[in-house]
Structure 1
């Protein structure tokens, strides 16, 4: 019986490399996978899943009007697994399409993404995935300032922490850091 998995973690928790590893393992076994990523994440190019360790692969780009279910159900034969990177950027209808893939096509779907934004609020895509996922798994990483588990994302502008502004601003380590709760509210002065 297929299931919908949501694997979340803070930035630099190895989510994308884990997705790429799962895809590789399926394909090494002669199985077919479809990999998706939201078009909004264009850091490495639209339609590309890339890890900070330098490994990447092409993926199917998800736009606002993409029907993921239609894309998957049109495949002959159906894929053995569907993988989605940056799940926090999904819309509610995309999450429902993933549910359809699991329930109607009996294909496992594994989604990787962030849980919360830098304002310490759930991303809408993540909230939908938390509501619908059969299995929810945390991928852990540590705070950049101490050895506690990173649970928050701290955003920087001109080297200073910010807690307001545009919710979605695609960026990397120069813009965001994964931190524990204490360092989110009380970041070290630099």
Structure 2
């Protein structure tokens, strides 16, 4: 039976690397995969890229993308053995349910990878939906500068100071975010 998986972590835990390795494993066995990433993340330019240099082309989804229809049509044309979704925190609630339907009705395993919380410690909508309905939850580990498990994402400005207010989503990498343990996240925000 196919399942909906959610692999989550703070930033810099290797989510994209893990996704690309899973994709490679399926393809090495002659199976067809379909990769998706958020159109909102313009750094990717239609590619899923890991910080260690691995990359693969991906379909892009926006909030209005009907994943059930798009993936279903491709699956009918040529069977898909696994769907892999990067930046899953940007999925809508409806899209998460569409992915669950692909697992339940089409029998396609769906592996979603994303961060759980934003720079204020609040859940992203896609992550909240996945935490609620995924068949399997897998936490990937990142490391804080103190050596503890990093579970939080601190947004910083150009000078490296903690940012406390702003839009939930601001695309960036190591120049804008630090993965921290909860203790150091709390201290940085002065909570």
TM-score range, shorter chain: over 0.9
Q: Displaced runs of 4+ in structure 1, greater than 3 A?
A: none
Q: Quote the Cα distance in structure 1 between the aligned partners of 2:167 and 2:64.
A: 22
Q: Quote the Cα distance in structure 1 between the aligned partners of 2:126 and 2:162.
A: 25
Partner of 2:106: 105
Q: Quote the Cα distance in structure 1 between the aligned partners of 2:62 and 2:122.
A: 23
* Mapped contact 1:72–1:78 kept (Cα < 8 A): no
Partner of 1:51: 50
**Residue deviations 1:68-87 (CA, integer Å, cap 9, x gap):** 11111112222000000000
Q: Quote the Cα distance in structure 1 between the aligned partners of 2:135 and 2:44.
A: 30
Partner of 2:188: 187
RMSD: 1.2
Partner of 2:133: 132
Q: Name the one with the larger helix percent.
A: 2
Instruction: Classify the secondary structure of the residue corresponding to 1:41.
Output: coil
Partner of 2:123: 122
* Mapped contact 1:87–1:113 kept (Cα < 8 A): yes
- Deviation of 1:187 (Å): 3.3
**Residue deviations 1:52-101 (CA, integer Å, cap 9, x gap):** 11111110100121111111111222200000000000011110110110
Q: Quote the Cα distance in structure 2 between the aligned partners of 1:161 and 1:142.
A: 18
Partner of 1:81: 82
Partner of 1:152: 152
Partner of 1:142: 143
Q: Give the TM-score of the pair, scaled to structure 2.
A: 0.94
Partner of 2:69: 70
Instruction: Classify the secondary structure of the residue corresponding to 1:12.
Output: coil
Instruction: Classify the secondary structure of the residue corresponding to 1:146.
Output: coil
Instruction: Classify the secondary structure of the residue corresponding to 1:16.
Output: helix
Q: Quote the Cα distance in structure 1 between the aligned partners of 2:164 and 2:126.
A: 20
Instruction: Classify the secondary structure of the residue corresponding to 1:121.
Output: coil
Q: Is 1:60 aligned to residue 59 of structure 2?
A: yes
Instruction: Classify the secondary structure of the residue corresponding to 2:100.
Output: helix
The total of aligned residue pairs comes to: 186
Instruction: Classify the secondary structure of the residue corresponding to 2:22.
Output: helix
For structure 1, the residue ranges without an aligned partner over 5 or more in a row are none
Q: Quote the Cα distance in structure 2 between the aligned partners of 1:64 and 1:122.
A: 17
For structure 2, the residue ranges without an aligned partner over 5 or more in a row are none
